[in-house]
Amino acid sequence: MPEILHWKKARVVGRFLWAERLFSLRIEAPEVSFTAGQFVSLALPAPAGSVEPMLSRPYSFVNAPSSVQGGESHEFLIAELPQGTLSPRLAKLREGDAVWIGSAYGFFVCDEVPAADSLWMMATGAGIAPFLSLLRTDALWQKFPRVVLAHGVRQARELVYPEVIAAVQRERGERFFYAPFVSREVLRPEQRGIFSGRITTALVDKQIEKAAGLALDKETAQVMLCGNPAMVEEVQRLLAERGMRRHRMRVPGQITVEAYW
């Protein structure tokens, strides 16, 4: 394989399967630095005859930047799309296999979000990835006194990284509220604490606000949305009813977004 443009050759050093078609890859990639919330392109050689030598897609870092010191391994949470081009190939990678990595990029980062009394992170599916990185940075907690993480998935087993979330909960106590949502599974009585349905429904009936004991309003809150573009759109529409709008450099607002497709 000839040296390819800006791609750095990296190696898979770990793999974890959360559910069918939902997995994490740990990748050893020297000299890749990033800010929490950013993404990077992962690539594999394109099939023979392709115009581009490499087939790549963006994936958000799950690990915090500080975790790289000494280890140089990064973690990614990936949903395998059955008809997808790259994700089924990434799903086949095993420890020791090569994968190529680009440079970190993106503005879904703490510095781009104005300070507020509370930060509301809302994710669907693998869209929780950048929040897992951000939650493990001190900068986030220095900027926001309270943080809410709402994560919507189809099945309870897709509520990934419970140990990371539990560690944040232990460290931050009442400053942190985690609201998991399951939409396509009947919850058992012992699954207390998991909400049934979609994040959007819970915004309308203020379920999360009541449970967190915190108001979501334009005077005190900032919102970050990540994942399914339909969720990203719908939440923005619902928040517009509360007078909230996209935050842009020239026109400040309360909502920062990252749509995954």
Ligand X SMILES: Cc1cc2nc3c(=O)[nH]c(=O)nc-3n(C[C@H](O)[C@H](O)[C@H](O)COP(=O)(O)OP(=O)(O)OC[C@H]3O[C@@H](n4cnc5c(N)ncnc54)[C@H](O)[C@@H]3O)c2cc1C
Which residues contribute to the site for ligand X (CB under 6 A)? 39, 57-60, 76-79, 81, 84-87, 125-126, 129, 258, 260-261
In angstroms, what is the minimal distance from the CB of 138 to ligand NAP? 29
Non-local CB neighbours of 162 within 8 Å, separated by 6+ positions? none
Q: H-type helices in 216-258, by residue range?
A: 229-240
In angstroms, what is the minimal distance from the CB of 245 to ligand X? 21
Non-local CB neighbours of 69 within 8 Å, separated by 6+ positions? none
Give first-to-last CA distance, the chain, whole Å.
30
**How far apart (Å, rounded) are the C-alpha atoms in residues 226 and 207?**
20
Residue 228's closest CA among 183, 175, 163?
Answer: 183
Ranges within 120-179 binding ligand NAP (CB under 6 A): 124-126, 152-154, 158
Nearer to ligand X, 37 or 116 (CB): 37
Nearer to ligand NAP, 19 or 46 (CB): 19
118 near ligand NAP, judged by CB under 6 A: no
Nearer to ligand X, 132 or 216 (CB): 132
In angstroms, what is the minimal distance from the CB of 209 to ligand X? 28
Nearer to ligand X, 11 or 57 (CB): 57
In angstroms, what is the minimal distance from the CB of 84 to ligand X? 2
**How far apart (Å, rounded) are the C-alpha atoms in residues 197 and 86?**
30
- Give, in degrees to the nearest 5, the angle at Cα 168 between 165 and 172: 145
Ranges within 199-228 binding ligand NAP (CB under 6 A): 199-200, 227-228
Nearer to ligand X, 174 or 261 (CB): 261
9 near ligand NAP, judged by CB under 6 A: no
Q: H-type helices in 32-137, by residue range?
A: 87-91, 129-134
Q: Residues 211, 205: contact at Cβ < 8 Å?
A: no
The correct pick among 81, 166, 167, 204 for binding ligand NAP (CB under 6 A) is 81
Residue 80's closest CA among 72, 69, 91, 70?
Answer: 91
Nearer to ligand X, 137 or 228 (CB): 228
Tokens of 244: 């909230």
Tokens of 6: 């800006």
In angstroms, what is the minimal distance from the CB of 235 to ligand X? 17
In angstroms, what is the minimal distance from the CB of 29 to ligand NAP? 23
19 near ligand NAP, judged by CB under 6 A: yes
